[in-house]
Amino acid sequence: MQDVLRRSGRPNRSYGKPGGAVQRFGLAIVALAWLAVGVATLTAGQAADPPIRIVVLGDSLTAGFGLAVQDALPAKLERALKAKGHDVSIQNAGVSGDTAAGGLARLDWSVPDGTDAVILELGANDALRGAGPQQTRAALDAIIRRLKERRIGVLLAGMLAPRNLGEDYVKAFDPIYPELAAAHRLILYPFIAEGIAGDRALNQADGIHPTAAGVDVIVARMLPKAEELIARVKAAKGS
């Protein structure tokens, strides 16, 4: 066969040798395949949205006082939301003993750039210390305004004043949360300790901080509000 090819004056080519027409065709197919894979990967990367980033700005009730890290409210809420199919990342910015004014003072570094939403849970320590309700209201209002300026969604978790502080204090403190929520059109979870307050089985020995089981109750009750918050974030993003 090679003698025939030589006599015909045609170059001696064979499959698999560099420069062969068939090999060049094969290499072209491989190149196109890799290009297709690259385009598909890029398209998939562009289509995938980042998780919704939520910060829980609060005190010991959300920081997880007396609990393992994985049993704190932010961690359990994140798991509950993911179990329902939500792609979220929740940061615990709770500080035990913090007040509304304290939360305002640390707002910028506690709620970093890129945050989509905040669950605001502050004011319990204000009430326990008998702080002036107007001071608490003013600090919470300032936090909310600054978050709104940054286009960060807010779920406001409310608190009720201890009844032993007297009727006047209760009347001044309790309306803070529903009134701020109405004024700023926020999602309101009326009382952070709803369903566990006064229940010894769901609170630690101090009668104030929830046990891991108590946190489960809060998460289950708060979950619909958290999902509403996520829906608002997505709507604001246009997704």
Of the residues 59, 98, 110, 209, which is catalytic? 209
Annotation says 206 is catalytic:
yes
Q: From residue 146, give the alpha-carbon distance in Å to each of 111, 139, 150.
A: 11, 11, 6
Q: Nearest CA to 97 among 176, 209, 216? A: 209
Q: According to DSSP H, which parts of 48-129 are helical?
A: 60-63, 73-83, 100-105, 107-110, 124-128
Annotation says 59 is catalytic:
no
Of the residues 59, 60, 110, 126, which is catalytic? 60
Q: How far apart are CA 77 and CA 219, in angstroms?
A: 6
Cα angle 117, 119, 124 (rounded to 5 degrees) comes to: 155
Of the residues 113, 168, 206, 239, which is catalytic? 206
Q: How far apart are CA 152 and CA 147, in angstroms?
A: 5
Residues 6+ apart with CB under 8 A from 103: 57, 58, 95, 110, 120, 122, 139, 143
Give the total residue count for the chain: 239
Active site residues: 60, 206, 209
